Homo-oligomer: A and B are copies of this chain.
Amino acid sequence: MELTISETAEAAGVSAHTLRYYERAGLLRAVGRAGSGHRRYSERDLAWIDFLTKLRSTGMPIRQVRRYAELAWAGEHTEPERLALLEAHRDQVRAQLAETERCLARIDFKIDTYRERNPSA
C-alpha cells in the first residue's frame, strides 16, 4: 500500500512541496519510486513523516530533526543518543510552554481590565 506524494501530503497535513523539501533537507531517506520516477511513500515513511511533523510543530529546528533521523538510520546503538536528544527537546518545549503560559496570564489580566471598563463587549 504505497501512497503518491499528494496522498501523503494530504495525510500528513503538509504540502507536496514541503515533502520534497524535507527529502532534500535530509529528513527523509530513500523514498521509493514508481516506474515513472514518481515517489511512492510506504507506511513506514508515513509514520516517520507523522512523527517528524510532531517534532517540527513543537519547534524543533530542521537541523536537529535531521540529526535525529541520521541517528535512527545509523542503527540501534544510537538509541541512547536519540533518547537524550528527545529528552532535551522535551525539556525545552516544557520550558517554552511554561513561559508562554506566564505571558498569557499577563494578557488575560489585560483583557480583564478592558472587560471591566467595557462591560458590554
Interface residues of A (CB under 8 A from B): 51, 54-55, 57-59, 79-80, 82-84, 86-87, 89-90, 93-94, 97, 99-101, 103-104, 106-108, 110-111, 114-115, 117-118, 120-121
Contacts and interface: CB of A to CB of B under 8 A. Distances in A.
Contacts of A104: 58, 90, 93-94, 97
Given A83-B118, A97-B100, A106 B57 contact: no
A121 B54 contact: no
Q: Which 5 A-B pairs have the closest CB atoms?
A: A83-B114, A54-B103, A80-B121, A58-B103, A54-B106
Which of A59, A79, A120 lies at the interface centre, i.e. has the most chain B CB atoms within 10 A of its CB? A79
Nearest to A50: B106
A57 B107 contact: no
Given A51-B106, A57-B99, A80-B121, 10 more contacts: A54-B103, A79-B118, A80-B120, A82-B114, A86-B111, A90-B104, A90-B107, A93-B107, A94-B104, A97-B104
